[in-house]
Amino acid sequence: MDIQAFFKLSYGLYVVSARSGEKKYGCIVNTLQQVTAEPPMLSVAVNKNSVTAKAILDSGRFCGTVLTETADLHLIGTFGFKNSEAVDKFAAFSTKEDENNIPYLTEHAAARYSCEVAGTLDLGTHILIIGKVTEAEILSDEPVMTYDYYHRVVKGGTPPTAPSYKGNISHKPAQKAQWRCKICGYIYEGDPLPADFVCPICGQGADKFEKV
Ligand code: FE
């Protein structure tokens, strides 16, 4: 099987969020999509070990938010590479709460969809969650973030927990020397890697980088 073939699939970049009691949960996904129009339903595949997945399944509700191209590595690092049990991921950003008190981003966001869980499918490493949309709202007219834009322009990595993880194989041959963060996959271009370099996605130091 040529796993490069999977690079031909296109995705967006989204935050799915949930609430369980007082606790707020959220994580980045690239697998949110509309699956039916009447009634409007979305599907999302979330890693089974994710605390956000547990909160969605416990509460039976979630909110999906479409990120815009303005979403930077600080936002993606916070929602993509930190744990909602350890930090309030929403604290540093402008947010609102939907009718189910689920937080969602109001900056770097194009639209949000509030959903109730209508079904699930166990996929082994991930769980596919079907959500019936109960509320939808446009948040801005900024261009939406595609996964391709994230890799090409934002130069972000893919965590091993993502459904589309392929070992962080580059889309194109490297032109310059590259250093890869062993934690999140972020690629630094240049040589040498500065000794005081801090990964802009996951916050780890230069000792966690390896030369590609
Ligand atoms: Fe990193």
- 135-165 confidence digits (pLDDT tens): 999 999 999 999 888 888 877 777 777 877 7
Burial of 179 (0-12, 13-18, 19+ CB in 10 A): buried
CA distance readout (Å), 162 to 3, 27, 30, 123: 15, 11, 8, 13
How many angstroms separate the alpha carbon of residue 123 from the centre of ligand 1? 27
CA of 202 to the centre of ligand 1 (A): 4
Q: Is the pTM of this model over 0.75?
A: yes
Mean pLDDT by 10 residues, the chain (212 residues): 89 96 95 97 96 97 97 89 89 96 98 98 97 98 93 76 67 72 86 89 88 90
Q: What's the 199 CA to ligand 1 centre distance in angstroms?
A: 5
Q: 172-181, pLDDT tens digit by residue?
A: 555 788 999 8
